[in-house]
Amino acid sequence: MNALPNRYLSRFLSRLLPPPSAELDTETRAKLLAIVHKASPSGIIAPILLPLLTAVAFWGQANHAALLGWCAVMQVLTAGGTWFYLGYQRDSATMSRSAHTRKWWNNMRAVAFLTGLTWGSSALLHLYTDSVLFSSVLYLLTLGVLAGGAMSQSPVPSNLVYAGVPILVPNILLAEFAFPGHGGYVQVLLVIYALMLSRHALNLQRTLVRAIQLEGDSRRLARQFQDEKERALHASEEKSRFLAAASHDLRQPVHALVMLVEALRARNQSSALHPLVEQVAAGTQTIDLLFRSLLDLSKLEGRKVLPTLEPCELGALIRDVMSQFAADARESGLTLTPRVPDELYAMAEPVLLRRALFNLVQNALRYTQRGGVLVTARQRRKHVRLEVWDTGAGVTPEHLPEIFSPYYQVHNPQRDPSQGLGLGLAIFKECVRLMRGTYGVRSVPGKGSVFWFALGPVPAETVANVREMRALAQAEEAKPDRLRGTVLVVDDDSQIRKAWIALMEAWGIRVACAAHGAEADALFAKGLRPDIIFCDLRLPGSENGLDLLERWQNTQPQARSALLTGDLKSAALAAAEEAGYFVLPKPVDPASLRLLLRRWLRAA
């Protein structure tokens, strides 16, 4: 018969009180203990002031000895609270966090039980007074202590049991003595009030625990982010160091290949071999361009070089980018069409412009199954606008705001890496931003999309200067190919020296080569008087190309000088540029080299 009431009571309590929380870790317990410790000063002051004020106010309505005894008992609580407050602070400086928490977690419960006993002793005063007003004040005081305890001890709900039970039990048992005829009513009110305070305290404790755990998670995430950031920075620095160390060696074979292919073109007299030689030359130029772009992108990514905008002719660049996709488009049955007016210029950084356009065309072809891709460029009043049109799947309006975000792919929800990583449009956006341009997209699902970006126009006077320089270059090209003069090349790489010999002899120029400064000095001693000295900036041992050229200015005053370097950035390179030396980057562009030779040498 008792099972049914017990079941209803258990169901009522389970709804009124939250379920028990999980076991707490040491760090969380330590922080909850610290919160309780902060409330200790109020627990020290209250047992002094409240009993004293109550005894003074009701001195004539209760037994004097009982009032004085109660005040004396409350001083025991004051001593206990003071001991806890000072001991907690003292040990926090000398003990480990875990040992400190274990010790004072149990001491905190002892102080909570002492609090309950001392405040619960106030119920005995009902036996020594006939004043209903005094009893009412004592009950109000008890309710206030319970409420304050629910707030200050809520970080550790078990403290409410240690403190609450010794307070509630005497007051419930003596309710009839305090309020004759109404004791049952007061007892029910006390129980309901205690349950409500318990629920509130448990909810507050759960909120505190959640906040502490979130704070811990945030700190862990912050540490993880910092560690990942440091690892990324370290990897970036390692990449930069590797690139700086390896760029010289990587440039050497490309440098030699470019010069040897140019020498082959100059020497070739066979009409049958001419198409093959031109294809090899075109492939070599592509390798050279990709290598330069790789190095330039690395410098821009490392922010070692800020992008410098310059006039870029769009027609040749667009056709060159599209030629890289021509074979893939033909295999897929797609058309790839450029529509660019003659001599259209925009202010851009060539490497970034090529990368931005490359990514747009690649993206358009990837999502186009039939039809084709059209690339247009046109001059507008305040900018130059480039557009890439496709007849692909299109993008729905809800996806448009996110498609330029890293790793976002509309048509690859399974994150299949074979369909790309979703970085193409994000890189495109960054390239356009660095060129101080704007970008956007229009799309009709099922019909296709138009991706565009706008760049600053080139002033008319700048265009005129570019045309003039191009005309001068064409005039130089029209001059006789055979030149007359002597060139000295100082480079420690034998493959590079052979390439220089092949190219210079193909152009009709006498050439002498040396591996280091001492060998060059020996050639001078034998009577060599070069018209031009090309010297590598990096040489074996302690030699430096800049130091050699400055020394040879005195011994070879008739010679013009130029430095060859594959360095991205170095103190010697900066000193050479500051001194005004002509610097040719490796791999040397044959067209630029020929133009320089025609200016510095006499025609044959």
pLDDT confidence band for 16 (50 / 70 / 90): very low
Mean pLDDT along residues 228-237: 77
Q: Do residues 528 and 288 make contact, with C-beta atoms less than 8 angstroms apart? A: no
Q: Do residues 182 and 132 make contact, with C-beta atoms less than 8 angstroms apart? A: no
Q: Do residues 490 and 545 make contact, with C-beta atoms less than 8 angstroms apart? A: yes
**Secondary structure (3-state) at 405:** coil
pLDDT for 154-210, tens place per residue? Answer: 778 777 888 888 888 998 998 888 888 888 898 899 888 888 888 888 888 788 878
pLDDT of 296 > 60? The answer is no
pLDDT for 441-474, tens place per residue? Answer: 999 988 899 999 999 998 888 888 877 777 766 6
pLDDT of 290 > 70? The answer is no
The fourth-level CATH superfamily of domain 307-464 is: Histidine kinase-like ATPase, C-terminal domain (3.30.565.10)
pLDDT value, residue 453: 95
Domain regions of the chain by residue span: 16-181, 251-303+480-604, 307-464
Number of neighbours of residue 264 by Cβ within 10 angstroms: 17
44-50 own/partner pairs: CB under 8 Å, 24+ apart: 44/78, 44/81, 44/82, 44/85, 46/145, 46/148, 47/74, 47/75, 47/77, 47/78, 47/81, 47/118, 48/74, 48/75, 48/78, 50/74, 50/141
pLDDT value, residue 602: 67
pLDDT of 256 > 50? The answer is yes
The percentage of the chain sitting over the pLDDT mark of 70, rounded to a whole number, equals 84
Strand partners of residue 376 = 339, 387
pLDDT value, residue 226: 85
pLDDT of 544 > 70? The answer is yes
Q: Do residues 500 and 260 make contact, with C-beta atoms less than 8 angstroms apart? A: no
Q: Is the dihedral of CA 104, 107, 111, 112 positive or negative?
A: positive
Strand partners of residue 512 = 488
pLDDT for 570-600, tens place per residue? Answer: 666 677 777 778 888 777 888 788 888 888 8
pLDDT confidence band for 488 (50 / 70 / 90): very high
DSSP 542: T
Helix then strand then coil, % of the chain, to nearest 5: 65, 15, 25
How much is the CA Rg of the chain, to the nearest whole Å? 44
The CATH architecture assigned to 251-303+480-604 reads 3-Layer(aba) Sandwich (3.40)
Instruction: Average the pLDDT over each of 18-32, 167-181, 357-371, 403-417 and give the range with the smallest value.
Output: 403-417
Cα 596 from Cα 592, distance rounded (Å) = 6
Higher pLDDT, 238 or 59: 59
Mean pLDDT along residues 271-277: 81
pLDDT value, residue 522: 94
pLDDT of 1 > 70? The answer is no
Cα 256 from Cα 293, distance rounded (Å) = 18
pLDDT value, residue 265: 79
Map tokens 């319970």 to a residue.
146
**φ and ψ at residue 112, rounded to 5 degrees:** -65, -40
Average pLDDT, the chain: 81
pLDDT for 365-409, tens place per residue? Answer: 988 989 999 999 999 888 999 999 999 888 888 878 778 776 555
pLDDT of 88 > 50? The answer is yes
Q: Do residues 300 and 307 make contact, with C-beta atoms less than 8 angstroms apart? A: yes
pLDDT value, residue 420: 43
Higher pLDDT, 579 or 513: 513
Mean pLDDT along residues 494-502: 89
pLDDT value, residue 271: 80
pLDDT of 250 > 80? The answer is no
- Spatial neighbors of 532 by CB under 8 A, at least 6 apart, are 485, 486, 487, 488, 559, 560, 561, 562, 597, 600, 601
pLDDT value, residue 450: 94
pLDDT of 228 > 60? The answer is yes
